[in-house]
Every structure is written in structure tokens, then in C-alpha cells.
Amino acid sequence: MLTGESAPVTKGKDAKVIGGSVNGNGALKVQVTAAGSNSYLNKVINMVQSAQGAKSGTQNMAGKVAMWLTIISISVGIITFIIWLTADKPLPFALERMVTVMVTSYPHALGVAIPLVAAISTALSATRGLLIRNRTAFENARRLTTIIFDKTGTLTKDSPEVQQVFPLSNEYAADVILQYAAAIQQNSEHHIAHGIMRKLKEKRLELWKSADFQYMQGMGVSGNINGKKVVAAGPNYFKQNFAMNVSSVLPLIFNTA
């Protein structure tokens, strides 16, 4: 379900889910308790719109600067008109100089650009998953000296990926072990199995056929590949079966991240 974590989260009766959540396995019945204006998505949209409408410190400062520059521009324009008029220049000539000074010095670009940049930056941030609720607080973030990240998927990928395969002996090469693992995991819906399959495609290795696939809940999967019984499992499997003879079993251990 939608939790911000890389692994699926179990939901039971009366548990809350968010629209857009993905059901990993089994059937799921949900009751809609919020729709339309009360939905989670609409609340996010309203939050972004509020952030765009609220003025930050930079906008307030730009507004004050623009106001004073406007006063200065008009004042300088009037002074220019008076100077040329008292210098016995024709009225059209004096008006032309006054308008030129006002148009050149008027801070229209400053008054328009700052709010426009703030609105565009907030919208672009939202499309990339960064929701800015308070632009003033966002501007103050430049003074931060330490940031602590708590969510998986913020600095790491939101799905497990095979980083490296470590063969425990020289009998099987790393790519061969990966092929065995992918062959046995191709029938699994586990998120780690998806990571193994992506690694196989990335290395462009052949996907072998498997038979007698068996899912061991909480432990892993097993099956027959190329005449060998293959087990792709975690610590729970080996703890439970540590006393068995595994000489005929090909164990697969992966370092995923």
C-alpha cells in the first residue's frame, strides 16, 4: 500500500488506505469515505494552490522595492519634463523625454517576474513530488545546517535492486547464480523477485525455464531448474532447515538494496 516504504505493508479490517494505492496480492474491498473536494488528491491540489497564492518574504521585499522604484521613476520623469520645459524646449520634446525616462526606469519587470517565478517554481516542484506548503519556510531552508531523511525512497530507490551476487564457491559464476535465481523467481510476485528479474534483463542473460515451483511463505521459493533443485530463500529458511542435508540444493544469497 501507499506508505513511502519500499516494501508492501499489510492492511487489515478497518485500516485506512489512500486513493492510488496498489494492492499487491489477494482481493481487497474498500469503502470510499472521502471523494471529490474531500479526497486526498484534492487536498494536495489545494495545498499547492495555497502555497502559490501566499506571498513569501522575497515577494514582499520585491513589492516594497517595486513601490519605491515606481515613486522614483515617476518623480524623475516629472523632473525631466520640468527641466526640458524650462529650457525652452517644445512641449512634445519634453513629453517624449519624460515618457522615455519613466518607461526605462519603471520596475514592471521586477513586479511581474518575482510572482511569476514563485508560481512556476511551486508548480514544477509539485510535478516532481516536492510539495511546498509554506514558501516563507522554504526560503528559510537555506539556513539549515543539518537534514535528517526518514523515508525510504527519498535517497534510495523505492524498490529492491540486486547490487552484487557473491558466489560462495568457484562451482558457479555470479551470472549463473543470477540466472538460477531469476528462473526460480519468475513465477513469484515478491518485490525482491522483481528486482532480480530487472537485473537479469539489465545483464541481458537468458531466462531459464523452471518446474515444480513452490512458494514457502515467509522464507522463499524453490523449484527445479536444469535438473537441479534450487532454493532462493532468506535466513528463516536456513534457520528452519539448518539440520537438513543441503548437498543437493543450490542456495542463493543476494545482497539487495
Return the higher-pLDDT residue of 230 and 139: 230
Looking at the predicted structure, is the pLDDT value of residue 96 above 60? Answer: yes
Interatomic CA distance for residues 4 and 149, integer angstroms: 12
Interatomic CA distance for residues 222 and 211, integer angstroms: 9
Strand stretches in the chain, DSSP E: 162-165, 211-216, 220-225, 228-233, 249-252, 254-256
The pTM assigned to this predicted structure is 0.41
CATH 3.40.1110.10 domain locations along the chain: 162-256
Percent of the chain with pLDDT over 70: 74
Average pLDDT estimate for 115-128 = 74
Residues annotated catalytic, as ranges: 150
Q: What is the dotted CATH code of the domain comprising 162-256?
A: 3.40.1110.10
